[in-house]
């Protein structure tokens, strides 16, 4: 059902204005009339509420917020159902903007500002992980920056735990099945992109690394023309070097970002608190501990070295080789010649390995593109066949419709002919009845009854023989008007 300004829900929440609307529901600004508190009201449309999965996601968002109890998690105040079947959730009203909107408007934030925001994200995320909840869809859209809270600007609130995963009480309740991909593609960890069932808090920390990368660079690290291409890049390609986008970045900060986005789980930060500590140390000007960097040797890079070789990956390899060689020479005098030879061999092997990996990746991408093209062709053929089937079905229906129309016309013509014949019969009967009535109405004229001669009684035998009888001729009176009058006496 659609809500209008002034409508009251459950006798206590009054609608003030529409904040946003989508295919699944809408979000309104409202007021709790009993305590006069501004709130946000999320509505799940009744047609969507018929889906059990959608209802579970909706309710799990409220349950997650209640179980975590962190000030960096949006607070859910109430949950209910409207008479029309819509479900609603009442949350604290957030005054500010999403991190995605901030990135879009600024084109990227400074590393210091980014680190400050991400520390707030990690604070709330750590509380969720301690409560046994994995968010699984962490992205800038789900990070809200309050204008001010407790005197702190850009206070972080994490929202939308709709596809979160609960691992509490030694059990597991998940919204997904093996092989399913849940979450926004750009922020998926490699294990999520592969559809693995085992998705834990380290996937959330990977997403935080992507947010760090994007917030500074102004764009996501991995992108693709198709969904499959994006997944292949996340799973197979190395993370693009952040310093190639921003050449003046501190190497320690870059290393923290890349450690968070390590492909292997055991190479990432193992907890939100660990990553939070690394960023706090960097903000305070203290170099993070070596184990908190993606590569311990990265701490030895000078800013000028990274900038001068930022244009090519081969240049970055040469910088690492040169730095490592110098470190070996200063630690082990007298073996410079052998060390250089060793590093030349290692460098050659590294270049060959990189080339081989590039060839394998190119083949995999080509195979993926071929597979995608084959699927597209198959889908196109299926669509054409379906269109042909629909066309044939339409022609069949038109033929049946024409046949039915012809049969109706024939039936109507037969009925008209029968009605015409019936009318003729009725007219003929009426005419005969009229003639009979007319004849019955005419006066009857008396007619002479003339006994035939054969029926007359014989007088020869009846009369006495002794008496002679004179027969007189019988004449008819001319005035008899056609009637015969006997004149014999």
Return the structure tokens found at 387: 């269109």
Higher pLDDT, residue 445 or 199 = 199
Is residue 446's pLDDT more than 60?
Answer: no
pLDDT for 429-442, tens place per residue? 888 888 888 888 87
Q: What is the 3-state secondary structure (H, E, C) of 417-453?
A: HHHHHHHHHHHHHHHHHHHHHHHHHCCCCCCCCCCCH
* Residue 373 predicted with pLDDT over 90: no
Poorest-pLDDT segment among 3-17, 19-33, 132-146, 387-401: 387-401
> Is a pLDDT exceeding 50 seen at residue 310?
no
Q: Is the pLDDT of residue 306 over 80?
A: no
Whole-number Cα distances in Å, 209 to 188, 189, 232, 260: 11, 10, 19, 5
What does the pLDDT read at residue 388?
Answer: 82
User: Annotated catalytic sites, by residue?
Assistant: 137
Q: Mean of the per-residue pLDDT values for the chain?
A: 75
pLDDT of residue 448: 52
Lowest-pLDDT range of 61-75, 193-207, 410-424, 443-457: 443-457
Indicate the helix (H) or strand (E) that contains 79: strand 76-81
Better-predicted residue by pLDDT, 124 or 163: 124
d(CA 378, CA 313): 39
Residue 313 structure tokens:
């990956």
Q: How confident is the model at residue 334 (pLDDT cuts 50, 70, 90)?
A: very low
Residue scoring higher pLDDT (138 or 286): 138
At 187, which helix (H) or strand (E)? none
Among residues 201, 176, 197, 55, the alpha carbon closest in space to that of 124 is found at 201
pLDDT digits (tens, 9 = 90+) for 242-295: 999 888 899 999 999 999 999 999 999 999 999 999 999 999 988 777 766 765
CA gap 177, 310 in Å, rounded? 42
The answer to whether residue 350 scores a pLDDT higher than 80 is no
The predicted structure's pLDDT at residue 167: 45
Q: Please, where in the chain does CATH 3.30.200.20 lie?
A: 1-93
Ranges of CATH 1.10.510.10 domains, the chain: 94-304
- Stretch among 55-69, 204-218, 430-444 having the lowest mean pLDDT: 55-69
Return the residue matching tokens 């190119």: 362
- The alpha carbon dihedral of 106, 109, 113, 118 has a sign of positive
Q: Which of 182-196, 223-237, 334-348 has the lowest mean pLDDT?
A: 334-348
CATH for 1-93 is 3.30.200.20
Say which residue the tokens 């962490």 belong to.
138
Structure tokens at 231: 């997944």
Domain 94-304: CATH superfamily, name plus number: Transferase(Phosphotransferase) domain 1 (1.10.510.10)
Higher-confidence position of 366 and 300? 366
């Amino acid at each position: 059902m659609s809500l209008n300004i002034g409508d009251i829900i459950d006798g206590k929440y009054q609608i003030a204005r529409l904040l946003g609307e989508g295919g699944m529901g809408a979000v309104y600004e409202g007021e709790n009339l009993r305590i006069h508190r501004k709130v946000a009201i999320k509505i799940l449309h009744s047609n969507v509420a018929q889906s059990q999965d959608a209802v579970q996601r909706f309710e799990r968002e409220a349950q997650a917020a209640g179980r975590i109890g962190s000030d960096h998690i949006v607070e859910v105040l109430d949950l209910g159902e409207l008479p029309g079947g819509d479900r609603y959730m009442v949350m604290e009203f957030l005054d500010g903007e999403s991190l995605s909107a901030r990135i879009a408007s600024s084109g990227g934030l400074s590393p210091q500002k980014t680190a400050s925001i991400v520390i707030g994200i990690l604070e709330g995320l750590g509380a969720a992980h301690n409560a046994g909840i994995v968010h699984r869809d962490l992205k800038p859209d789900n990070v809200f920056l309050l204008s001010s809270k407790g005197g702190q600007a850009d206070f972080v609130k994490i929202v939308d735990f709709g596809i979160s995963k609960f691992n509490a009480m030694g059990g597991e309740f998940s919204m997904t099945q093996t092989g399913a991909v849940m979450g926004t593609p750009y922020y998926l960890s490699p294990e999520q992109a592969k559809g693995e069932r085992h998705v834990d808090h380290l996937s959330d920390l990977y997403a935080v690394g992507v947010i760090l990368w994007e917030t500074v660079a102004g764009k996501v690290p991995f992108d693709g023309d198709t969904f499959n291409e994006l997944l292949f890049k996340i799973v197979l390609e190395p993370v693009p070097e952040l310093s190639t986008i921003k050449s003046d970045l501190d190497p320690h900060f870059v290393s923290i970002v890349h450690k968070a986005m390590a492909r292997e789980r055991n190479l990432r930060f193992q907890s939100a608190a660990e990553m939070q500590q690394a960023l706090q140390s960097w903000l305070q000007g203290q170099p993070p501990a070596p184990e908190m960097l993606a590569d311990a040797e990265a701490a030895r890079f000078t800013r000028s070295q990274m900038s001068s070789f930022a244009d090519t990956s081969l240049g970055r390899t040469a910088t690492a080789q040169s730095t490592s060689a110098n470190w070996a020479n200063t630690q082990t005098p007298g073996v410079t010649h052998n060390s250089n030879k060793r590093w030349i061999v290692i460098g050659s092997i590294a270049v060959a390995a990189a080339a081989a990996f590039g060839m394998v990746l190119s083949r995999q991408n080509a195979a993926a593109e071929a597979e995608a093209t084959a699927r597209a062709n198959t889908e196109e053929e299926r669509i054409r066949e379906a269109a042909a089937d629909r066309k044939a079905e339409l022609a069949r229906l038109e033929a049946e419709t024409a046949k039915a129309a012809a049969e109706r016309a024939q039936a109507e013509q037969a009925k008209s002919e029968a009605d015409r014949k019936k009318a003729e019969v009725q007219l003929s009967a009426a005419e005969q009845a009229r003639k009979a009535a007319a004849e019955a109405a005419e006066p009857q004229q008396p007619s002479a009854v003339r006994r035939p001669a054969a029926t007359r009684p014989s007088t020869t035998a009846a009369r006495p023989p002794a008496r002679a009888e004179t027969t007189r001729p019988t004449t008819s009176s001319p005035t008899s008007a056609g009637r015969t009058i006997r004149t014999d006496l």
